[in-house]
Structure 1
Amino acid sequence: MDRVLLIEDDDIIGEMICMYLKEEDFLVLRSHNGQEGLAALHEFEPDLILLDLNLPDFEGIELCTSLRNITPVPIIIISSNSRVSEKIEAFTVGADDYLVKPFSMHEMKARIQALLRRFKLGHPTETPKLQADHEVTVPATDLNINLEKRTLYVRGESIEMTFSEFELIRLLYEHPERVYRREDLINALRGFDSYINDRAIDVHITNLRRKIEVNPKEPKYIKTVWGVGYKFVM
């Protein structure tokens, strides 16, 4: 049974979501504020988090950042704010999806199931022994990418990434020197990221450079091709 942590202070919305998800065979724990949510994260060990951005004790984006620094599980923002800038900021700090209130419970369930499927594919509980892991090391560099386990090590250190960030680095790595237009990258990620656009691509690239480059301002691996897009250089 999948475990969902709901961080929502509105009693009506909170109870509706809890009731619906329980009827759909999810195990649900509701926290009424950010402090409760952070405490529940360790005790409840959810498979997915539903996070309201308007909480009494936490600024929602700040809490999303804190949660992402602690856990890799999918985070869905639920908010009455429909501004594109708010959505982009949420994705920038690690949210995986964004639902605008009021929303359909059926749509929420579908998005939860889609994120859980993708997350479980990337984080299997057991690694099959039938064949060697598809592990690739960029020659004479500090990057080590395991495509089956969806892990990335930079100079020996494990790097936490969102689902979309890994899909982006995987695509670039598998086609070195190929120049991808932003439109190409948007189309590649559209099935994983509901609100992907030019700005979101640039944000993902910036975040990846911070994680893998020695000097993000002078990138060695992810190069900008001015006026076109990006490419991966070995």
Structure 2
Amino acid sequence: MEKILIVDDEKEIRDLVEIYLKSEGYETIKCGDGEEALQILSCEKDIDLVVLDIMMPKLNGIETCLKIREEREMPIIMLSAKSEDVDKILGLNMGADDYLTKPFNPLELVARVKSQLRRFYRLNPSVNSKIEEDTKNLIQIEDLEVNLETHEAFIDKNEVKLTPTEFDILVLLAKNRGKVFSISNIYESVWNQEFMESDNTVMVHIRKIREKIEENPRKPRFIKTVWGVGYKIDK
């Protein structure tokens, strides 16, 4: 049974999210601010996903997300009452894997939780004993190495810290070298949801991946832009 940490300073939101997640068989832990969330995560090593509000007292969601990413790789879904693109981009830049604007449909949140966990376990079999061992779990592209079994990426033998979603996008492109993926292709393949034309989530993640794996993100060696079409790795 997966365990979800719900972090929100509004008790009504915490309770509502808990009801829907428990109805799907998830175990939940609730808290009201970022400091308490970090304390829980330091003690509870088996938490699988965090639902994290942005606007909170003591330690806000952005700061909490950064702290979590220093130690843990589990998926993080951010919640915010703000709908501006800049807030969404900021959350994704700080390491979040997905973002929902309040008020949200609890069923949509549940669907996104399921989607994030499916991808995380599929590409991180070291934490899921039910996934069969993949004998071809290593992708090597020049000095870029992607290990599907351990969910790790390396540049010149130095580990690159990617979020679960960043890792998923990199794997999608690396497994299909030479194939151009449009932004909608990437979104629908990785998020398993219908793409909305105004959504810039994929571009934000591509930029973050390039910053981590490319020596010069403005002149990328690996993830190439095919203008007007999408992205590819063609090495």
Higher mean displacement: 176-185 or 51-60: 176-185
Q: Structure 2: which amino acid aligns with 1:79?
A: S
Q: In 1, Cα distance between the equivalents of 2:175 and 2:109? A: 33
| 2:73 counterpart SS class | coil
Task: Give structure 1 stretches of 5+ with no counterpart.
Answer: none
Q: Find the counterpart in structure 2 of residue 134 from structure 1.
A: 137
Identity across matched positions, percent: 34
C-alpha contact 1:97 1:194 (8 A) present in aligned 2? no
* Equivalenced residues, count: 231
Q: In 2, Cα distance between the equivalents of 1:41 and 1:196? A: 36
Higher mean displacement: 171-180 or 149-158: 171-180
* TM-score, normalisation: structure 2: 0.81
Higher mean displacement: 46-55 or 194-203: 194-203
C-alpha contact 2:124 2:148 (8 A) present in aligned 1? no
Query: Over aligned residue pairs, what C-alpha RMSD do you find?
Result: 2.9
Q: Find the counterpart in structure 2 of residue 80 from structure 1.
A: 81
Q: Offset at 1:43?
A: 0.8
Cα distance change, pair 24–232 in 1 and its aligned pair in 2 (3 A): closer
Q: Offset at 1:5?
A: 1.0
Q: Does 1:145 align with 2:149?
A: no
Q: Find the counterpart in structure 2 of residue 171 from structure 1.
A: 172
C-alpha contact 2:22 2:28 (8 A) present in aligned 1? yes
* TM-score, normalisation: structure 1: 0.82
Could you give the per-residue CA deviations for residues 106-131 of structure 1, whole angstroms, max 9, x where no partner exists? Answer: 333232222222211122234745x6
Task: Give structure 2 stretches of 5+ with no counterpart.
Answer: none
- 1:155-194 paired onto structure 2 within 5 Å: 155-191=156-192
Q: Find the counterpart in structure 2 of residue 55 from structure 1.
A: 56
Q: In 2, Cα distance between the equivalents of 1:157 and 1:170? A: 18
Q: Does 1:14 align with 2:14?
A: yes
Q: Structure 2: which amino acid aligns with 1:15?
A: D
